[in-house]
Structure formats: C-alpha cells, structure tokens
C-alpha cells in the first residue's frame, strides 16, 4: 500500500515529529510506503500532489485542524489525536490499510480532484471543541513565547520600572510620563524600552489571535476576521482570555451559520468576500460589546483578584493542582490548560503561578532521565537512549521529552510524572518563586525571582518522579517475577 499522513499538535515542537516518526516506522515494518507531512512549528513542507493522488489511504494524527484538507478528498481516511499516532501507530496503519482494501481509493492523475468516496470519521461535540480550542492555542503560542521573553528581557536589562518608563505611571514614588511617540522609545528609554514595547505589542495580540484561530478551526478562513475583532473587543472591555474563548467560539458559530445560506452562483463570491465577513464582524462585535462582554469581564476580574489573594495553604494547593496537570498528559490538552492558566496569570501580573507551572513542566523529563541512570535495568535500551535527550528537553521546559517513557509504560510513568509535577508546583508556590517569562527553562534563570526556591522545587519534583517511577517499576517487576515462578512450579 501507498499511504500519506499529516501530523500536527498545538505547539508543533515534539508531538508532531514523534508521531511522524512512529507512523513511518509502523508503515515500513508492515511493508507499506508512507509519506508524512508535519505541520509543525517550523512550517509544513507540503506533500507532493503525485504522492497524494497515488495514495491508497490517508492518516491524520492531529490535535489541531489539518490545513488544506481538501487535497485528500476521495481517499479513505483514518483520523485520531496526535498521541494515538505516537502510541498506536501500528493500529492506525492497519486501519488505513483495511479501509483501503475495503474501498480502494481512486488514483487520478496528479493535480486532478478525486471524487468523494470516503468521509472523515465524525467527531463528537467534546472532540470538536477540543480540536477548535487547540487550533487557537497553536497559533497563539508563538506570540506568547516571543512577547513574554521580550518583556522578561526588558525587565532584566531595564529594571522593574521599565514598564512605567515606557507606558507611564508611578513606581516607588517616582512618576513617569508615557512616551507618546513609539519612535522616541530608544532615545528616551533605551534598548530595554524597545524590548518592552515590542514584547507588550506581541502580548497584546494573544487574545485576538486565540479568538481568530478558534474561529478559523471552526469555519475556515472566513472565521478569522470576526474572531480577531471579537478578541479585540474582549481585550478592550477587560474580558481577557475568557472573553477570547467566547469570542472565538461565537465567531465560528456565526460564520458556520452564515455559510449554510446558499445564494445563486453569481452571488457566492460576494458572500465569501463581503457578506459573511461584514455580517460576522458586526454580529460578533455587537454581542461581545453589548450582551456577553460585561459578565465575562466581571468573571475575569474576579479570577484575577482571586489569584492575587492566594497565599499560604491555598497557594500551595493551587501549585499542587497545576503541577499534577502539567505532568498528566505531557504536553496534551490538560497540560496546555495549566500552562495557559499560568500565562494568563502572568499577563495579569501574578508571577508566582508561571514559576510553579514551568518548574512542574520541567520535572517529568528530568525525573525520568535521572531514573534511567539510577536504575538502568528497569528501562529498555531505547528508553535509556531517550533519557539522554530528556536531560536537555527537561532543562528547556519541553515536557514532551517524557513521552517515550510514558508511551512504553503509561500506568507507571504518568502517575510518577504527576507526583513529581505536583511536588514541584507546590514547593515553588511555598517559596514564592516568580518568573517573568512564559517559557525558556534554565535559559531564563536570570528572570526568576527567588531562584534558589525555584531550584529546590525543581530538584524536589525531579527526585519525586525518579523515586516514584523506580518504586512502581520495581513492584511491577517483582510481580512479574513472582508470576513466572508460579508458572514454573505449575509446570
């Protein structure tokens, strides 16, 4: 069989390429040819149209909306989350082959369009919602990383008052006038001022981009304009991330409804270019501004005040919960919810939650790497090799470095990473460590407040993961040995 596949995930860093490698290995092992397009952070090198035309079946292992799906019209399709592509690549390949044998795909000349002979499997409401939200998150994350790190560098170079220097306000009894003309920032606030302005500009786009690309995931390109405008309105009225989520879903729903209207052939172009964007922007903007915006803004304000009021045991419990979430699915949706909660708190001025989230996210690869060194006989040669890379991945806050271990032994590895993440998050909150950057791992240690406490949290979480996974694997190994002894005695 000739197969083609597309893999993608919200961050486009690890899962995307791990799924591609797993599918390639599974297909080759089964005696088939496969070409994989990775729609990752580095962009996508599109599949050759000839390969698509000649393919017997298509595989999607994606947590975000696959771009240009129309290319695969008419092909038998197996679709699933990117983690299934990593953990169950053999099954996905087998399903694709079975579909191709049951309904052979037409093989027209390259460049022609195949008739629709097989449809993508229908997703449930929950799966659709997750796909739409992850699409928005995937397009937002580059703004988070670039903007957050630029702002953090601005504070590092220009001091804690740099925000007031650029945008005006009072700091430690000194009142600063806002710099009215951005072209004067370099002269009046220096290089740190430029970093602050650029980082703040990128950060200001988080909610509009999130809303726009949630709508894009639902309604394709026509959803972008209403979604972005809805997100801008959410920012203007103080509705924050919650407003962005609502605006994106609302924009997608409005545009999907408008696309159901089928005018005559002569009016279809006007509908796409003028009517749908115009009506969509007005309806979404009006509803956000007049109907739902204020209640959402009130909820966002309450959440911000609640975070600011956390202290003592409550803060530690929050760190415990977020840390466990970071260690649960290792870069998946639950992990992303905790991470975005930290980013939202960072944008609201709470720096402790982001520190706890990053410490917890670094722990799973580091703890498993340490365990593979301390008790190497508990791990396969492949896992020990993955452990060498996990040191760097964990230190760089790439939680996905733990996936090779979790894929091989999820029942023992995932509880261990959750324990370690929870310990790291709780200890970080207890020490009130802070972080001004949304990413970076040890490479942004200069931007960590109370870095000693952060380091203690990191070491404690790493040790907890290491000890937990060693204990669970040792127990499992002992049980297996006991079962083998009983089997020998029975014989």
**Catalytic residue numbers, as ranges:** 9
What are the strands, taking DSSP E only, across 385-475? Answer: 434-435, 448-449
DSSP 287: I
Residue 65: alpha-carbon gap to chain centroid: 13
If one counts every other C-beta atom within 10 angstroms of the C-beta of residue 452, the result is 10
Using an 8 Å Cβ cutoff, are 470 and 368 in contact?
no
User: Would you put residue 35 in left (φ > 0), alpha (ψ -120 to 50) or beta?
Assistant: beta
User: Would you put residue 72 in left (φ > 0), alpha (ψ -120 to 50) or beta?
Assistant: alpha
The closest alpha carbon to 470, from 377, 364, 359, belongs to: 377
Q: Which two tokens stand for residue 134?
A: 């992850």
Residue 229: alpha-carbon gap to chain centroid: 23
Query: What distances in angstroms separate CA 147 from CA 88, 202, 244, 447, one per listed residue?
Result: 36, 5, 18, 14
What is the CB-side half-sphere exposure of residue 264 using CA atoms within 13 A? 1
Using an 8 Å Cβ cutoff, are 49 and 111 in contact?
yes
If one counts every other C-beta atom within 10 angstroms of the C-beta of residue 1, the result is 17
Using an 8 Å Cβ cutoff, are 61 and 12 in contact?
no
The string of DSSP letters for 143-212 reads HHHHHHHHHHHHHHHH-TTHHHHHH-EEETTEEE---SSGGGHHHHHHHHHHHHHHHHHHHTTHHHHHHH
If one counts every other C-beta atom within 10 angstroms of the C-beta of residue 258, the result is 21
């Amino acid at each position: 069989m000739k197969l083609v596949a597309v893999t993608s995930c919200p961050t486009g860093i690890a899962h995307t390429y791990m799924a591609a490698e797993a599918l390639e290995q599974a297909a080759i092992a089964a005696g088939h040819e496969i070409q994989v397009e990775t729609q990752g952070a580095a962009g996508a090198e599109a599949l050759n149209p000839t390969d698509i035309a000649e393919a017997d079946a298509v595989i999607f292992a994606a947590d975000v909306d696959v771009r240009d799906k129309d290319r695969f019209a008419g092909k038998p399709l197996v679709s699933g989350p990117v983690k299934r592509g990593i953990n169950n690549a053999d099954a996905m390949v087998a399903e694709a082959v079975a579909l191709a044998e049951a309904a052979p795909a037409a093989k027209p000349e390259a460049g022609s369009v195949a008739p629709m002979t097989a449809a993508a499997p229908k997703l449930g409401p929950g799966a659709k919602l997750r796909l739409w939200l992850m699409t928005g998150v995937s397009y937002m994350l580059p703004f988070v990383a670039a903007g957050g790190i630029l702002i953090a560098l601005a504070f590092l170079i220009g001091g804690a008052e740099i925000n007031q220097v650029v945008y005006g306000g009072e700091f430690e009894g000194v009142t600063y006038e806002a710099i009215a003309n951005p072209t004067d920032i370099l002269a009046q606030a220096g290089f740190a001022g430029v970093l602050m302005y650029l980082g703040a500009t990128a950060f200001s786009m988080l909610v509009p981009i999130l809303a726009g690309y949630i709508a894009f995931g639902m309604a394709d390109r026509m959803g972008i304009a209403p979604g972005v405008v809805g997100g801008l309105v959410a920012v203007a009225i103080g509705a924050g991330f919650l407003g962005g989520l609502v605006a994106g879903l609302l924009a997608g729903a409005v545009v999907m409804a408008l696309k159901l209207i089928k005018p005559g052939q002569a009016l279809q172009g006007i509908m796409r270019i003028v009517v749908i964007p115009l009506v969509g922007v007005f309806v979404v903007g009006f509803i956000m501004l007049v109907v739902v915006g204020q209640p959402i803004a009130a909820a966002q304000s309450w959440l911000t005040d609640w975070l600011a009021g956390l202290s003592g045991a409550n803060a530690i419990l929050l760190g415990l919960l977020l840390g466990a979430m970071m260690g649960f699915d290792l870069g998946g949706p639950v992990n992303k919810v905790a991470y975005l909660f930290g980013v939202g708190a960072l944008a609201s001025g709470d720096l402790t939650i982001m520190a706890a989230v990053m410490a917890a996210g670094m722990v799973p690869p580091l703890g498993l790497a340490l365990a593979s060194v301390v008790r190497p006989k508990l791990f396969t040669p492949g896992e020990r090799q993955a452990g060498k890379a996990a040191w760097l991945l964990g230190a760089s806050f790439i939680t996905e470095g733990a996936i090779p271990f979790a894929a091989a032994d999820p029942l023992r590895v995932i509880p261990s990473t959750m324990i370690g993440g929870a310990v790291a998050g709780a200890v970080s909150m207890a020490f009130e460590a802070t972080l001004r950057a949304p990413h970076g791992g040890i490479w942004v240690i200069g931007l960590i407040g109370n870095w000693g406490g952060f380091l203690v949290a990191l070491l404690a979480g790493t040790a907890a993961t290491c000890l937990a996974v060693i204990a669970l694997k040792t127990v499992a190994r002992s049980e297996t040995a006991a079962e083998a002894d009983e089997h020998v005695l029975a014989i």
